[in-house]
Structures are given as structure tokens and as C-alpha cells.
Structure 1
């Protein structure tokens, strides 16, 4: 793994040189490390974290043990993400099925 000298972010290989994922700076490949680079499988749609306000929750699991603070509706779609260290409980993110209000619940 090679890190950017400018900002410290992880770099990826493009056309024989290393390109920073954050700031776009380029560097030549560290030839000592070249044999240690490992490619991984492409990210699947299931691995994507829905973080934008436009993210579509429809089709996700439904919780009926919650109450929306905005409209009082008792059903919401939810997704679970590990937002802290692995020994901490995950966070549930909700979207009201009635009004679309979003909130999170820490266990």
C-alpha cells in the first residue's frame, strides 16, 4: 500500500503510476512494494453505504417498533452500519415510510 506524500491518503495504481484518491497527486510506484500489491474483487452494490439524502431506502428491511418524531408513523425502513469500533454495537439508520424523515438509533 502506498500513501500520498501531500495529504496521506491511500493511493491507487493508474497507468503505471500511483494516483491519490483524495487530492489527485501522482507519484511513481514504489518498486520495492510493487510485488506486494494485491487486487481485490470489485465492490458490489450490497457493499455501498447509503449516505446521501437522496438515497433510496425502499426495499430495505422494515421496523415496526419505532415512531417517527416528525409525523408519528410507526413504520420505517432501516439499515444497520458499524460506525464505531468492532466491539461497539452497530447504528441503525431509519427512514419513515410515511414522511421520509431520517434518524439514527445507537444501541
Structure 2
């Protein structure tokens, strides 16, 4: 595992470089350093997580004013998702009128 020297985020391999997806910093890969990295038992790479989309299978809407400046919509699809590693859920909204997406704060 490699962390970005610029912002501290975890870096990902892309060909012969380590790339930071947060600040786009790139560093050359070092095969000797990578050989020294160890993997813990049961550790795995599940790939990029799915992006939640509150309109995918939502049929229910609720009254929730759209925060988009150019929209007067007052109904939104919603989806409840568990917060990663947390003990509570987050509610995601998608405006019925303009498809603007936001989360409950």
C-alpha cells in the first residue's frame, strides 16, 4: 500500500506509476519496495465501490425541497445506506424534477 506524499490519500497502481485519485499526484513504481510490502490474511481488493443512485430502484418519493438554485422541485426519491464503518445510516436524495443529487446533512 502506498500513500500520497502530497495529500496523504491511498494511491492506486496504473501501469508503471502510483496515482493518487484525490490530488492526481503520480509517483514511479519501485519493484523492490513493492516486494517488501506484505498482505495481511483475508485482505482483499474489492475494486472501486458502487456509487449509490437513489433512482435505481426507488419508487417511493417524499416531500423534500430540492437545494438546486434553479429548481423549485419539492419531491425526491430517497435511499437509506449504512455509513461505511459507522453506526448510523445516511439518506441520499434525487430530485424528481431535475435529478439533482444530495445527501441529508
Q: TM-score, normalised by structure 1?
A: 0.54
Mark the CA change 1:12 to 1:95 in structure 2 (over 3 Å): closer, same or farther: closer
Q: Which residue pairs with 2:80 in the alignment?
A: 80
Query: Where does the alignment leave 5 or more consecutive residues of structure 2 unmatched?
Result: 66-71
Give CA deviations for 1:65-86 in whole Å, capped at 9, x if unaligned.
x32435555xx32222345751
Q: TM-score, normalised by structure 2?
A: 0.54
Mark the CA change 1:62 to 1:27 in structure 2 (over 3 Å): closer, same or farther: same
Contact 2:92 2:101 in 1 (8 A): yes
Alpha-carbon RMSD: 3.5
Q: What CA distance in whole angstroms lies between the structure 1 residues aligned with 2:2 and 2:89?
A: 30
Where do 1:26-105 residues align within 5 Å?
A: 26-29=27-30, 30=33, 31-33=35-37, 35-36=38-39, 40-43=45-48, 47-50=50-53, 57-64=54-61, 66-69=62-65, 70-71=72-73, 76-83=76-83, 86-87=86-87, 89-97=88-96, 99-100=97-98, 104-105=103-104
Query: Where does the alignment leave 5 or more consecutive residues of structure 1 unmatched?
Result: 51-56
Count residues in correspondence.
92
Q: What CA distance in whole angstroms lies between the structure 2 residues aligned with 1:71 and 1:20?
A: 37
Q: What CA distance in whole angstroms lies between the structure 1 residues aligned with 2:39 and 2:63?
A: 51
Mark the CA change 1:42 to 1:4 in structure 2 (over 3 Å): closer, same or farther: closer
Q: What CA distance in whole angstroms lies between the structure 1 residues aligned with 2:73 and 2:20?
A: 45
Mark the CA change 1:68 to 1:14 in structure 2 (over 3 Å): closer, same or farther: closer
